[in-house]
Structure 1
Amino acid sequence: MKRQRFAHWQIISIALMLYDFVAVCGAYFLALFLRFDCVYSAIPAQYIGPYNKFILPYAAGCIVVFLLAKMYNSVWRYASYTEFVRTLAGSLLTSVAHTVLITVLLQRMPISYYMMGAFFQFVLLIGARFGFRFIQIFRRRHDVDASAKRIMLIGAGNAAQMILREMTLASEVRDRVVCIIDDNPNKWHRYLSGIPIVGGRDEILSAVEKYQIDEIYLAIPSATAEQKRDILAICSETNCELKQLPGLYQFVVGEATVSAMKDVSVEDLLGRDPIRTDMQEVYRFITGKVVLVT
């Protein structure tokens, strides 16, 4: 009979449970330690005694609450707002329970113990869960890949945010967005996910030169054909590759990603369908005739 192996995510979850147990215990000890000027012998017995009696059952209870909150089932590589809220809620709930239970059952502790303990607990819990992702994002933004293309993003809306998120998290995407163009003056000289919004469409040509752009992505799925034509006409004056989202549908269904971008065609620049000439009729009309082309 084969021995059943734990899946990788299960091993990570078990390790995270052990970490949480130690972190919860350490958070409130650190709060008590700091309250008495970092001198262990200065902590009165009336406080260290209740702490020692209460902290292990409390830490075990925290693990149960975190399990019920599904804090061990997430893919932390892609942790986002949902995981943050779960961690915040779980930490807040258990900290309130700690305050009530230790006060009612054992001893009223110093106010700073409750406040600092809750703060340290949250910081330690959130740090373990989001630390890897923050390191990954930091490394990707500061690693220089000679083969990576420098990208200008036109549009600073939700579609642009989705594209930036994918480029930040996807390890296989090496290209980097270095600047953003948007016609809304309220967004100028601000940042979207750390990328500067340098101005409106009038700044496209100067920004291409300043930021040494290789590709331009048009990420305005709601733009009309005329708006697209005007913007793409400016972009066509550069030597950059032009790509755009196929349409509003891709954004609505959540496909505003790098892989969904398509090359700009002649039809996009025309703003209309091309005219299809009946060449057979043309041949029949000019056959045997001398034609002057002016």
Structure 2
Amino acid sequence: MADLDFRDEQHFLDTPLGGWLLRHRRSMIVGSQLSLVVFSYIFSFLLRFDFDLMSNNQWPLYTMLKTLPLILILRAVAFYIWDLYRGWWRYVGMEDLLDIIKAVGISSLAFTAIVMFVFHASYPRSVFLIDTFICISFIGGIRFLLRAVREYTKLPPRALSKNVLIYGAREIGIEILKEIRANPHLHLHVIGFIDDFEAKKGFKIHGVPVLGGREELSQILTRYGIDEIIIASRTIKARELRGFVERFQDSGLRFRIIPAVRDILGGEVSIKNLRDVDVEDLLGREAVQLDTELIRQTFSGKRVLITGAGGSIGSEIARQVAALFPARLLLLERNENNLFYIHWELARRWHTVPILPVVGDAGDAQLVQSLMADEKPDIILHAAAYKHVPLMETNAVAATLNNIRATRTLAEMAARQGVERFVLISTDKAVRPQNVMGRTKRLAEGITQGLARRGGKTRFLAVRFGNVLASEGSVIPLFRRQIAEGGPVTVTHPEMTRYFMTIPEAVQLVMQAAAMGEGGEIFVLEMGEPVRILDLARNLIKLSGFEPDRDIEIEFVGLRPGEKLKEQLWDDAEGIGPTSHDKIRMVRRTQPFAADFDQRLVELIALAEQGAEAEVRRKLRDLAGPPAETARKIKPHETVDESPPDMTG
């Protein structure tokens, strides 16, 4: 989308005449507006006296000339007060018209008061009203005329323009229409609006008809040859949008959307914010309703430590915590580049929030002890973790050190320091874990639960959710890269499903759960319906402008080591119950670990520190679940045993 520009104006202003007009622009505006005031006043007298100012011993002419300087001065002052001598007339709008009405109205009242009550002069009273209306018409009309001439004479040839429909005949859609008309270089021609409110059908908005609703869209597309649909509705739900887009994807239409207003800096709707409808829009859900006051009370004015602060989840947690103005924000991250960028962003947006970026490993006991002692955090949000299932299958030592040792180190330090809250970011892979990553996260949950059972000041809790859209290394960025390379797009199995949630929504619910937790809970975020990965791949290919299996091939590669066809957010044996928030559930009971869990965990960490890969993998199976499937690839139509694991150790 081209940005708004002034290339035509700049070309004219580069000429000698254009430069002279620019230098004397203010004087010309003042002169033209005061000339209109004079003309309006004279015309008002002519109308009042039937174009005969010489009657009655020339009294009308004498009165007009005598009072003309006064009305001219009052109008000039009022126009200056309401700033009518500035601004490009071609961009005039309703605010400008209101200013004109105010300036003319107030100066007319002042003129009436002076003539009638100061000079006690004989004056034709109807001229007061006639002149007011004519002056408003002249001053405002000339501006709107120039705007109309520009909009309707600068339109590009219809053959070069794309025919556009705007879905949503309300404020956002109307603003988009105005911007398209004001910028002919965009080469867009708005054919009409579509809106599901039946009563609007047949009406015109700024001369553009409301053609009907979604049910009539097929006929509208055929009749008018539409090239693009702009979604300009705050109320359309993701499921409706998905059905809307999928219904017409094969027609070659381009779909663009205005992001949610809360996601637009400053909340202003502009055509510059338009973007193509993406798969995130089709998978997104209704806005989460939060107990903002409880969250504010929990985080505002507190010292908050975020681990993994440079990652997808950790960086979004940092943004949302910073917006609550904590007393101090501590960012712990091992990747210096990621840490640099999130610290730069936060410092720029929330410059009053004290932020300390710390490069280091959350499993470094000496670093963590020093950080805790010096900074004394009130809340710890532990997001640092390795998460790639196939990669961790061959890196069990690294997964154990990062996901288990770091959690244990942080959590035990938090208990000793008397931290108020410790929140572990967990995953659906921890349910009936059949891979290294899931087992490490299940054991991390066990660490927080064990510390919670000991009692003490710190509230330990975990928040478990599925995949987040567009996170680093997740399936959507991978599919996009494969599409950009011309394919194939690799899908493991035709029936594989996953739960998805947007990063901001996941973090909002993490914050809500953190504020609600009393200690010992495992919260589960309500993830909606699972999404078939094959459908996700097909939608993404179509939204990229290609046809699946024709332009971009889809290749089934079989399940990789450690992968499951379907994920679960809780085990049936655990049970699940509601909380005070309808998007957050709580595991009612967790299957206990063995009595010597702590000792065996110490042994596991010691083996990982020695680099004993095979022994670590065996110990993980013993502690957190049965063996995973063999390392061979599972064929696309082969089933996988997903029987419940024995969690008793």
Task: Select which of 201, 221, 224 maps to 2:234.
Answer: 221
SS in 2 for 1:107: coil
Q: Larger Rg: 1 or 2?
A: 2
Show CA shifts across 1:105-155 (max 9, x none): 2632223322222222111111233321122233356x6331110011111
Q: Which has the higher strand share?
A: 2
Give yes or no for the alignment of 1:17 onto 2:30.
Answer: yes
CA 1:229/1:58 → structure 2, altered by over 3 Å: closer, same or farther? same
1:263 aligns with 2:263: no
With over 3 angstroms needed to count, the CA separation of the structure-2 counterparts of 1:103 and 1:51, relative to structure 1, is farther
Pairing partner for 1:119 from 133, 137, 144: 133
Aligned residue in 2 for 1:175: 188
Q: Give me the whole-angstrom Cα distance separating, in 1, the residues matched to 2:34 and 2:99.
A: 17
Report how far residue 260 of structure 1 moved: 2.2
- CA distance, structure 2, for counterparts of residue 116 and residue 155 of structure 1: 41
| 168, 174, 179: which one aligns with 1:161 | 174
- Identity rate of aligned residues, in percent? 21
Point out which structure has higher relative CO (alpha carbons under 8 A, 6+ apart): 1
Counterpart Cα distance in 1 of 2:164 and 2:190: 4
Return the alpha-carbon distance in structure 2 between the equivalents of residues 197 and 34 of structure 1.
Answer: 41
Contact map agreement 2:558 2:633 (CA 8 A) in 1? no
| TM-score (normalised: structure 1) | 0.83
Q: What amino acid is the match of 2:208?
A: I
- Aligned with 1:134 (options 137, 140, 148): 148
Give the residue type in structure 2 aligned to 1:23.
L
Of residues 184, 187, 198 in structure 1, which corresponds to 2:200? 187
Which residue pairs with 1:41 in the alignment?
A: 54
Provide the secondary structure at the position in 2 that maps to 1:172: helix
Task: Give me the whole-angstrom Cα distance separating, in 1, the residues matched to 2:267 and 2:153.
Answer: 26
2:490 is aligned to none
What amino acid maps onto 2:55 in structure 1?
A
Deviations 1:21-40 (A, max 9, x none): 22222212112122222234
CA distance in 2, matches of 1:218, 1:232: 10
How many Å separate the matches in 2 of 1:219 and 1:190? 18
Matched-pair contact (CA < 8 Å) for 2:70–2:111: no
The equivalent residue for 1:86 is 99
Offset at 1:92?
0.7
Root-mean-square deviation (CA, aligned residues, Å) is: 3.1
Tell me the secondary structure at the aligned position of residue 185 of structure 2: coil
Cα distance between partner residues in 1 of 2:106 and 2:179:
33
Matched, 1:240 2:253: yes
Shift of the 43–12 alpha-carbon distance from structure 1 to 2, 3 Å rule, reads farther
CA distance in 1, matches of 2:245, 2:70: 64
CA–CA distance in structure 1, aligned partners of residues 263 and 280 of structure 2: 19
> 1:35-62: CA deviations, max 9, x gaps?
2222343364333223212212320232
Q: Runs of 5+ in structure 2 lacking a partner? A: 1-18, 285-498, 501-530, 534-556, 564-629, 639-649
Matching residue of 1:152: 165
Aligned equivalent of 2:458:
none
Change (3 A) 1:137 1:253: same
Three-state SS of the structure 1 residue aligned to 2:166 is: strand
* Aligned amino acid, residue 168 of structure 1: R
Alpha-carbon deviations, 1:46-97, whole Å to 9, x = none? 3322321221232023212211221113333322222111110110111222
Confirm or deny that 1:65 pairs with 2:78. yes
Q: Shift in Å at residue 7 of structure 1?
A: 9.2
Q: Return the TM-score normalized by structure 2.
A: 0.40
- Using the alignment, how far apart are the partners of 2:133 and 2:50 within structure 1? 18
- What displacement does 1:206 show? 0.8
Partner residue, 1:109: 123
**C-alpha contact 1:180 1:196 (8 A) present in aligned 2:** yes
2:45 aligns with 32
Q: Is the 8 A contact 1:140 1:168 kept in 2?
A: no
Decide which of 217, 225, 232 is 1:212's aligned counterpart.
225
Tell me the matched-pair count: 285
Partner of 1:3: none
Structure 1: how far apart are the matches of 2:631 and 2:268?
48
2:36 and 2:58 map into 1 onto residues whose CA distance is: 23
Larger proportion of helix: 1
CA distance in 2 between counterparts of 1:150 and 1:77 reads 24
Change in Cα spacing, 1:9 to 1:290, as seen in structure 2 (3 Å) is closer
Judge conservation of contact 2:558–2:636 (CA < 8 Å) in 1.
no
Closer, same or farther in 2 for the Cα pair 1:22/1:262, shift >3 Å? closer
Post-superposition shift, 1:208?
Answer: 0.5
What amino acid is the match of 2:257?
Q
The residue type paired with residue 109 of structure 1 is Y
SS in 1 for 2:158: coil
2: CA distance between counterparts of 1:204 and 1:139?
Answer: 30
Unpaired runs of 5+ residues, structure 1, are: 1-5
Whole-Å separation in 1 of the counterparts to 2:105 and 2:124 = 18
Change (3 A) 1:102 1:212: same
